[in-house]
Structure formats: structure tokens, C-alpha cells
A = this chain, B = another copy of it.
Amino acid sequence: MAEFNLIQNYFNFEQDLSKSVVKAIGDDCAILDIPKGRQLVTSTDTLISGVHFFDNIDPADLAYKALAVNVSDLLAMGAKPLAFTLAISLPGINASWLEAFSQSLQQAAQNFSINLIGGDTTQGSLSITITVYGTLKKGKAVLRNGAQLGDDIWVTSTLGSARSALKLHNKDSLSDEQKLLWQKLIRPQIPFKFAKRLNKFATAAIDLSDGLLADLGHIMVQSQLGARLMVETLPLEEALIEQEGIGQARQYALAGGDDYQLCFTAHKKYRKKILYHAEKTQTQVTRIGKIIEQGYQVLLNGEPLAITENSWQHFQANL
């Protein structure tokens, strides 16, 4: 199969193109119009077989996750997704694998209201680099450096389940609880609708890819402030507690990675407003602590808690 058939067959799928997409697949470059009064927001992330996912991953899950973790970065800025490019490296051409990957990518793109506008296919070990493009109202980005002393710290959905699921090797004999945790790892439900409202109240935000302590740490460093976490408030799946016990579940919620939920800070006057927007977008949000002057205070019912779990240590880094 020649290279152009590969594209025609699998990556030139039907999509409702945004009117901002002037030129998609088919030329040296894609062209985007950025509406007046808005800015371009962009990020790129790579997923590599054996590092970020298991070699035998279902191609449909892979396509979903590769797009979701990139859109997650747009959400953490309060941006609206617009477009993405896909650079995929494949060991060879496997029609049924590509078919499943392509269909899932098309579905995920539709769900996230984002258009595939170009990319590159190469032969090599399996890896995927997606670059996402979004827009936001000029000057309205929610950055990492905006947290204020006394702000509440919030997270969306639940934490720690993906870290627990990393240990599930034999997928054929999973309990119902384990299946739920597994879904959290392979199909992270990013807070797509809620994030668009983030700039109405958030002073800072980050998406949780490396674990709460590590990622909230970036907000602390860039805002030159500290954080107090009330560990008893951390949102945990019942299935995670069943599987790990409450102590280990909390450790995973603090230090596990791959959650792809949002952590954000906001003035306490917005508590009602945040709950209102969460309800309107059917999003679970939980207040888990507050911004203090310096350092980390990780407290369980008022007493310091030792962190026994290492932060998700991979070699990956967002520049």
C-alpha cells in the first residue's frame, strides 16, 4: 500500500470542519483563521509504546487516549479546542489495526469538537505525537502562575485510579472494580465542558498527568506560594478503595499519574459559582486544600501524612 493510500484510507475521514479551518489535509501546510480578539493556544505530546502504553494496547483505546491527553492541555489553559495534527510512526501497515485506530480517532475528534488538519506517517517503532491547536479570548488564559494566597485548591473527577490500573496485567480476569479502574487509565474522561468555563473563576490551572503533588508543585513554583492539602477530602473511586484500601488509595491520589483531570485554584468567593458550573456541566469537583505562603503541608485530619508513594517518575517532560 502506497503512502497516499494510507492517508486516503485511514486519515482523511469525514469531519464537520470548523469555519476557522481554511485548509486541512493535502498541502504543504494547514491554514487556520484565528478569530478576531482571540489567541492561538498550542501544545504537543508524544506517546511511546512501552513507555506511555502497553505494546498490546487496543488501537481504539490508543487513539482516544493520544487525543485526550493533548486536548487536556488545552483545557488546562481554559482554551477551546480547534484542530490537531497527528505524527504517527508504525512498524508496518496492519489494516484492521489502522481501521480501529482511525474510527476511534474520528469519534474522539468529534466528541472534542476538534479537526484533524494534517500530520505525518513514518515507519518505525509505534509512537504518536499529536499537536493541538485551540483558541481563547485574548489575555484570558488560565496560567500556572496566577494562584493567590488563600485561594482554594480544586480538582475535577477522582484521582489515583489510573495508577492502580497500571498494575493490572492480566486483562482477561478483571473484577468489576478492576474494570472500572482500567477504564480510568485507558479512557480518561477529561472535563471537556467544565474547562471552557475555567476562566470565569480560576486563578491558575494545570492538568494532572504526573500526579497531584508533582503537578500542583508547578503552580506553587510559578506562583511562588505553597499549598495545604486535606487528604481526607481527596475524591476517590469506591472501586479504588475496594482494590487498594483507603491508605494506599490516598497515596495513589497524591502521587500517581495519568489522571488527566484538572487541578485549579480560585478565590473562596467563587465556591458557589464553581459548584454551579460543575452541576451545569455534570462534572464532579472537589475542594481539597488551600494556597498558603510556602511549602507543602499534606495533612490527614489535621496531622502530617508521610508520602510513601513515589511520584510517577518517567523521563517525559512538557517543555
Q: Chain A: residues with CB nearer than 8 A to chain B? A: 3-4, 6-7, 11-12, 22-23, 25-34, 36, 39-46, 48, 50-52, 73-74, 76-77, 79, 85-87, 89-90, 116-125, 127, 129, 131-134, 138, 141, 143-145, 205-207, 222, 314-319
Contact = CB atoms under 8 A, between A and B. Distances in A.
A317 B90 CA distance: 12
B30 A120 contact: no
A32 B28 contact: no
B40 A143 contact: no
A50 B91 CA distance: 13
Contacts of A46: 87, 89, 120, 122, 129
Nearest to A49: B124
A1 B40 CA distance: 33
Contacts of A134: 29
Given A43-B29, A46-B89, A73-B29, A318 B207 contact: no
Copies of this chain, whole number: 2
A12 to B, nearest CB: 8
Contacts of A39: 22, 31-34
Given A48-B124, A50-B124, 15 more contacts: A27-B144, A28-B73, A28-B318, A29-B74, A29-B77, A29-B132, A34-B34, A34-B39, A42-B133, A44-B118, A48-B122, A51-B123, A87-B87, A120-B318, A124-B125
A319 B86 contact: yes
Given A125-B124, A317-B4, A28 B86 contact: no
